[in-house]
Structure 1
Amino acid sequence: MIFPSSYFFFLLTLMLGSMISISSTSWFGAWIGLELNLMSFIPLIALKMNPFFSEASLKYFLIQALGSVLFISSAFLSLSSPLFSILSIFLALLLKLGGAPFHFWFPQVMEGLKWPQIFLLSTIQKLAPLTLISYLMTNEILVKITIISAILSALIGSLSGLNLVLLRKIIAFSSINHLSWMLVAVSISDTSWLFYFLTYSFILLSIVSVFHKLQTFSLSSLIQSDQNSTFHALIISLNLLSLGGIPPMTGFIPKWIIIQIMVNLNLFVPLFFLLLSALITLYFYLRIIITLILLFNPILNFNMKYKSLSSTPSSLLFKSTFNFMGLFSPLFFILI
């Protein structure tokens, strides 16, 4: 079991906090939802009395508490100085998201988490702040600041992930890079960023499921895993290609839509940086894939452990089928 049964209450309140923030009609109600979300996630991090879990939960709590203080303080200033208040609220939400230039805490917290918590932090914990940021996109100044933050997140998320061997940090910087696409999509329309967010969540779920099953946290442990098999290597490779946005995998479809919208809006400069960062992130995905290909090649296999075609777990196969739905996208245009 991923979480003990007693912790499903915290999962429920976690989702409830996000829903309260999204549906709130005032900044105070949104702040209450964010606080409920924060207090529900802390027990899910500290599942055991472990110094790594305690350090991660403390870092996460301090950063989120700082963002909450800045958020509620800025909301009180909305009557006297509305422009400064909206700008401060935006920066507080960006800090909670872990977007550049406030990304410094995100990889450090991810390094001390298990894979299920990593999935929650990379997906559900970003839902409420992204939605609140989308409510602020009526201001042209904030739209420009959002695009600048997206460019910084794209560059930092791609360049910082080079030469890393820890899978959790690779996924963390990958999440920062994907956040840049979501921020650009937020500045464009609500439909585009929601579609990108849902697609990214399903792709990350398939990757996290495999890593959680193998209980691997680095490239070396992935190679030496006793539960590893040709099936797991194939699933990991295809899922990472989908996460990198390689056509015709599913991960390419939301990027394709955002690229088309940015071209129509003449946003060529941010599009250049987003595409450049996508190529760089594809490099450290390929490092994992090439390692797996070398490992399971019978001629180049340097690992002494025997790797067989083990039985294919139906749950992993079901979770990964979402990544192959992009293969059927040409049928949509044929039918039209």
Structure 2
Amino acid sequence: MTKFFFFNKKFDKFFSMNYLFFIMLFFSTIITINASSWFNAWMGMEMNLMFFMPLMMNNFKKIKISNSMMIYFIIQASSSSFMVMMMIMMKMQFVLNKMNIMMNMIQMSLIMKLGASPFSWWMPKIMKNMNWMTLFIFLTWQKIGPLFLLIINNNNFIIYISAILSSIFGTLMGLNQTMIKMLISYSSINHLGWMMLSMMLNMKIFFLYFIIYSLINLMICLFMNNLKLVFINQLFNYNNQNLFDKIILLSSFLTLAGIPPFLGFIPKFILLIVMIKNKLFIEIIILIIMSVNSLSFYINPVISMVIFMKMNFKWNNEIFFINKSIFSILFPNMFINLIMMTPTIYNFI
């Protein structure tokens, strides 16, 4: 009993330290966004790395998460060192052509930090060992710093190539996944392509897309965290549960896919209109084809629950009371926001 008591005290102390890590994670991103020089931005990203790695240990799977932490540290440290080397060379060179090449190299290091294609191979390897709430932070908050630094650069060609490759790679690699976290990881790569294209065309669309994408991921991560789901075949055991939770899960994945009339359709629709005005017809065809193909792996997590569904309208208040109280507030707000935000489409066009 005494060993168990001290073991719990260690766990409580560890979880109490998480609040400090969250606060420092917030301030490190603020330092990166408001940096007046590349050195200050680099310092903010390094602080962000050091305070995010302890949060990855929350699942207490020592061997698996240690491998993921090592991969994450090597990728982030190598891209940061490459970025610092280019910063030093920029101070030494004064030729304009070489300066542009070094800025492009800095841009590629930021894309590597972001996890966009063609440097996205490391993301699924570390995301499959995270717990759901750490995964949500990695998908949303950890993307803010590199994305804002990409906005500063004037050359959009590298961002354009990375955006197209991310939309293609994220769709094709997510087709045959059986693990829900792997599916979410390749979905994030696909959405990164959309966000980077919106960043090139209109910053308002980018902010709208990122906010909606973060809200959708919050819904999915909360749901999966409460149900303790890891693999898609585990949803076969969930087909006898109530209809309300099935509708929530189905609508969350369809919202992430961008199907009308759900909330995720708004930023994609606005971006496609702006791309038509800029005569990016080939890019529109690629994005639409990849979005249609990605519907197959968005529907896979819920197809077992829908096909083998037994109509059960009984409310199980003992188990799902907290879930219902949360999602009954968040889920109707998605449709209310969809109705209220449709007049704002004309502000972006």
Shared topology, TM-score over 0.5?
A: yes
Kindly indicate whether the alpha-carbon contact (under 8 Å) linking 2:232 and 2:300 is maintained by their aligned counterparts in 1: no
Question: Shift in Å at residue 230 of structure 1?
Answer: 2.2
Superposed, which structure 2 residues align to 1:90-239 within 5 Å?
90-136=107-153, 138=154, 142-225=155-238, 228-239=241-252
Instruction: Give the corresponding residue for 2:66.
Output: 54
| CA 1:72–1:237: 2 relative to 1, 3 Å | same
In 2, Cα distance between the equivalents of 1:130 and 1:104?
18
Relative distance call for 1:130 and 1:309 in structure 2 (3 A) is same
From the CA coordinates, give the structure whose radius of gyration is larger.
2
Q: Secondary structure, in 3 states, of the residue corresponding to 1:78?
A: helix
Match of 1:301 in 2: none
Which has more helix, going by share of residues?
2
Note the alpha carbon deviations across 1:148-185, whole angstroms, 9 max, x for none. Answer: 11111001100100121100000000000000001101
| Residue pairs, 1:236-255, within 5 angstroms | 236-255=249-268
| Bigger mean CA offset, 182-191 vs 167-176 | 182-191
Q: Report if the CA contact (8 A) 1:99-1:149 is conserved.
A: yes
| Number of the residue aligned with 1:20 | 31
Residue equivalent to 2:103: 86
Aligned with residue 33 of structure 1, among 44, 60, 72: 44
| Whole-angstrom CA distance in 1 between matches of 2:162 and 2:199 | 12
Q: TM-score, normalised by structure 1?
A: 0.90
Q: Which runs of 4+ in 1 moved over 6 A?
A: none
With normalisation by structure 2, the TM-score equals 0.87
How far, CA to CA, are the matches of 1:68 and 1:87 in structure 2? 14
Aligned residues: 325
User: How far 1:219 moved relative to its partner?
Assistant: 1.1
- Shifted more, 34-43 versus 262-271: the winner is 262-271
Q: Is the 8 A contact 1:250 1:322 kept in 2?
A: no
Match of 2:88 among 76, 85, 88: 76
Distance 1:52 1:101 in 2: 25
After superposition, the CA RMSD in angstroms is 2.5
Match in the other structure for 1:66: 78
Give the aligned partner of residue 283 of structure 2: 270
Q: Which moved more, 1:43-52 or 1:124-133?
A: 43-52
Letter in 2 for 1:86: M
The 2-side partners of 1:272 and 1:326 are apart by 28
Residues 289-298 or 70-79, more deviating: 289-298
CA distance in 1, matches of 2:340, 2:293: 26
Moved more, 186-195 or 92-101: 186-195
The answer to whether the 8 Å contact 1:13/1:40 transfers is yes
Partners in 2 of 1:10 and 1:265 — Cα distance?
43
Query: Take 1:159 and 1:307, find their aligned partners in 2: how far apart are those partners?
Result: 37
- The answer to whether the 8 A contact 2:238-2:305 is kept is no
More divergent stretch after superposition (149-158 vs 318-327): 318-327
Q: Percent identity?
A: 31
Equivalent-residue separation in structure 1 for 2:248 and 2:299 (angstroms): 14
Deviations 1:168-218 (A, max 9, x none): 000000000000001101111222211111110001100111000001011
* CA distance 1:40–1:321, shift in 2 (3 Å): farther
The Cα offsets for residues 267-300 of structure 1, whole Å up to 9 and x where unpaired, read as 11122111111111111112223211023235xx
Q: Which runs of 5+ in 2 are unaligned?
A: 1-10
Following superposition, the deviation at residue 67 of structure 1 comes to 1.1
